[in-house]
Amino acid sequence: MKLSLHSHSVPRRAFTLTELAIVILILMVVAAIYIPQIVRDREKAIRIKCVGNLKQIGLSFKVFANDHSDKFPFGVTNSLGYTNITTAWHHFQAMSNECGSAKILSCPGDRERLYNIRSDFSGGPTGLPFAGNAAVSYGSGLEADETQPNVVLAMDRNLVTNAMNLQGKLFLINARIPPPEWDGKHHWFNGNLVLADGSGQQMTKSNLGVQVAQGLASTGLATNRWLLPLLP
């Protein structure tokens, strides 16, 4: 007599709607806890990289000044930056030997510049002159001087103002008008800069106002000028 064997499968119980809702709720709670922290950590890393870029730029300015009678490009007659108040990238091109790489001119939080990053200062497609201001995330403080450590030397370009103190590509800063503020494009309404003493600084809106006032007091000038890499 033959015996037949039959396999009996155990039926699987599906999730009920209540159980599914609980799982989704748990995932949402976990996301609400961890995603903001991930975003904050990413932004922190971006700002650290940006400040690092500005410190390298500040060092480049100082090395340039050591070789040019303590003057920055704006004050050196044979420099591309000499009295230049229209094209910010020329001030950095003037320091090509000191900067080494043009990559430091692009802030990793500046999404509008990420596709225009240049690696060198040559005249070819990889060079800064090929892209000009489109490859630069930072502006230059035209009143900066090595003898005035509190004056802003270079800064993030994400600046806005409620006053009519932006003429062409220059921010005109004086005590009679509100100081510029950071917009939300790069660092969540914050920004970074480097001072003439070479120190990189992370700046909030209120910190920026204080720094602007200190810079004006240091130069003794009625107006300080920041040349921004705006596009035509």
Per-residue pLDDT tens digits for 14-64:
667 777 778 788 788 877 776 666 666 678 889 999 999 999 999 999 999
Per-residue pLDDT tens digits for 105-123:
999 999 999 899 999 999 9
Reduced DSSP (H G I as helix, E B as strand, rest coil) percent helix, strand, coil of the chain, to 5: 40, 15, 45
Exposure string for 191-208, b = 16+ CB within 10 A, e = fewer = bbbbbbebebbbbeeeeb
Q: Is residue 3 part of a domain?
A: no
Q: Is residue 188 part of a domain?
A: yes
Q: Is residue 60 part of a domain?
A: yes
Q: Is residue 1 part of a domain?
A: no
Q: Is residue 8 part of a domain?
A: no
Nearest C-alpha neighbor of 101 from the set 88, 114, 117, 120: 120
Number of domains in the chain: 1
Q: Find the largest Cα–Cα distance for the chain.
A: 113
Per-residue pLDDT tens digits for 158-194:
988 765 456 568 888 888 888 888 988 889 899 999 9
Q: Is residue 12 part of a domain?
A: no
Instruction: Indicate the pairing of strand 159-160 with strand 181-182.
Output: antiparallel
Domain coverage including residue 66:
18-227
Q: Is residue 191 part of a domain?
A: yes
What pTM was estimated for this model as a whole?
0.83
Per-residue pLDDT tens digits for 70-106:
999 999 999 999 999 989 999 999 999 999 999 999 9
Q: Is residue 6 part of a domain?
A: no
